[in-house]
Structure 1
């Protein structure tokens, strides 16, 4: 059984300036003790014990030795048993032990190493060998101490840096949220579409992204962090409408060809405005704006290349924009507008299905169809006021 931890020894008087390493010599033969004391006493501070139990008393009284020289063959508690007890006691387990023995059998040495000894000295003791091995193991112990101190300092620094990084991350997230709310509110003040349209499309985008997260085409892209950024960025999809004249933006009837041409510029206006907002900023602070730029500029592109503003086709359209395209069109169809009544969910789904592979990425449409129940729940939860 391991020893119970003894209370720390009282500190030595301040006048003691001897900083030589401490050795505990344990041997039941006075002559053997004298040999080691004569050999090592000038270089090290020595404490001696004539039995295993006396050694435990010396250790409990302190101060702690830097190394133990331990005879194997002793009456009562022999060296092997004392070594086992020390290695099972956390307070002493780290102290290196060198066995001093006349035993020469390989199995005796093996047993000692298995118990945790670091080395053997054979009797009769060779002074150069003994001095070299004691010096080497003390140097190793000191190296371990230095490494442990360094690791403790490094761990403390890592904890501090981690705390600072987490605090910085929270600040960045708060800045993102404030930026999005401010920009989205700006768009709402000029658009006849409601804030609930923004909430619904935001949740549709996250739902579609989560549905595609395990898809072979998208698994490498749609991790949890990216999905969260898409969710945050989605409300800015129509931010470019702040640059459209009121006469066109708020017109109750159908737009003319010329007016529609101007209206279509909102996609590029939104992308450019968000790019300008991100310019010169720390990427860590505005990384979410990359997705906002993609969504604002690309959510009217079509899978077959017939969309605007750039006529992008297929995978050349950013995934974020392809997700928003389905979300935006579905919500526009089920919503009441001054120029049209709302479609039923079934009719809207039929329209979306009809655009599969022409207007929309087929896999994104399939994700919508696979999550119809959840789509309807989002629409109901954030329904416009009657």
Structure 2
């Protein structure tokens, strides 16, 4: 698409005078593809069915006038940007204002000078070609940016799942748990986002970050010994104290990743909140910090309910699975002590989604 080569451009000549059409065609046909018509109505059909780069348009014609035609050209998105040069015997400033207001690119006054005709047509075709080239480049760049963004997102997701897989290798029961809790968190966040209190905070990007970060909630368990992590019976006080270190181990791992990155990242920030805070309780009786209420990050409050619910309905080496109703009863009892009351209310509003998620990712 070179500016110097315009021979593939098609110029449409619209004039009710066959004589005018003949000599303008002869003047331009050596340089461009030419289509002609003496009718405004026929001109619109040609524009609809052909690739036209420029229109030479007479104003005074029977039936549809040039003014009528250009209105239709500018109304249609497919033809909106085609340059239109009016051919007219009207030579007042007021006439030109009307045409330019309707979207004319230029005026050539009759009687038409051949040199002026060739010069104006070439100029406007070059301008259109330049705009088309720029538009195509912008479209290309936008597609490239979108593709690169998607590639980076896919890479980021792959890294997250690889890290989460470390915890899974230590505890084989966590695989489906990771998937289920991820979808529980998103469902809760989407429900809470309907409340005016959370509408701005839980925008799509934040919910997506929570969703992608959720699999990392137990990443710190890679630092817990097998005799504690896989113990079939109840943990001793000392063993439980050791298990309680996994939020800090998870935070330290993610802080190293953040330091390596060298700049803030929404996903890593959500992952830090979730890994470090999902064992905190609304009444302050949780660990590792003993945070309470809204001092606990929202992402961690969502994860807390998702994590407990899934642990209750799942089989573990130390217990049989509970029914949804039994797990629901425990969640409700934990309202305002273990769990954020609003998160519990969101859970109750979408409990059918929890059931569906549990069935879909039952392993």
Structures share a fold, TM > 0.5?
Answer: yes
How far apart are the structure 2 equivalents of 1:362 and 1:264?
Answer: 24
Give the corresponding residue for 1:99. 89
Aligned equivalent of 2:349, options 370, 374, 378: 370
Conserved? CA contact 2:67–2:99, under 8 Å: no
Tell me whether 81-90 or 327-336 shows the greater mean CA deviation. 81-90
Aligned equivalent of 1:88, options 49, 56, 69: 69
Conserved? CA contact 2:85–2:107, under 8 Å: no
Distance 1:60 1:273, change over 3 A: same
Give the corresponding residue for 2:200. 220
How far apart are the structure 2 equivalents of 1:114 and 1:292?
Answer: 56
**SS at 2:261's partner residue?**
coil
Tell me whether 356-365 or 245-254 shows the greater mean CA deviation. 245-254
How far apart are the structure 2 equivalents of 1:324 and 1:270?
Answer: 15
Give the corresponding residue for 1:63. 28
Give the corresponding residue for 2:144. 164
- Confirm whether residue 54 of structure 1 aligns to residue 5 of structure 2: no
Conserved? CA contact 1:334–1:348, under 8 Å: yes
How far apart are the structure 2 equivalents of 1:377 and 1:351?
Answer: 19
**Displacement after TM superposition at 1:364 (Å):** 1.0
Give the corresponding residue for 2:224. 244
**Displacement after TM superposition at 1:275 (Å):** 2.2
Give the corresponding residue for 1:340. 319
Distance 1:355 1:153, change over 3 A: same
- Confirm whether residue 330 of structure 1 aligns to residue 295 of structure 2: no
What's the Cα RMSD here? 4.2
Conserved? CA contact 1:99–1:112, under 8 Å: no
Give the corresponding residue for 2:175. 195
Aligned equivalent of 1:318, options 294, 297, 308: 297
Gaps of 5+ in 2: 1-5, 10-14, 32-57, 74-78, 111-115
Conserved? CA contact 2:188–2:302, under 8 Å: yes
**Displacement after TM superposition at 1:208 (Å):** 1.2
Aligned equivalent of 1:211, options 184, 191, 196: 191
Gaps of 5+ in 1: 1-7, 12-48, 66-77, 123-134
Distance 1:342 1:118, change over 3 A: closer
**Displacement after TM superposition at 1:342 (Å):** 2.7
TM-score using structure 1 length? 0.67
Instruction: State the Cα deviation string for residues 222-273 of structure 1 (Å, max 9, x = none).
Output: 2333333322221111010001122222222222222222211101111220
Conserved? CA contact 1:302–1:311, under 8 Å: yes
Distance 1:147 1:320, change over 3 A: farther
**SS at 1:304's partner residue?**
coil
Instruction: State the Cα deviation string for residues 50-100 of structure 1 (Å, max 9, x = none).
Output: x943222222223289xxxxxxxxxxxx97228935983879962244635
Instruction: State the Cα deviation string for residues 147-188 of structure 1 (Å, max 9, x = none).
Output: 645533432222122121122122112212221221122111
How far apart are the structure 2 equivalents of 1:98 and 1:110?
Answer: 13
TM-score using structure 2 length? 0.71
How far apart are the structure 1 equivalents of 2:98 and 2:247?
Answer: 78
**SS at 1:88's partner residue?**
helix
Give the corresponding residue for 1:154. 134
Aligned 1:220-299 pairs, distance under 5 A: 220-281=200-261, 287-299=266-278
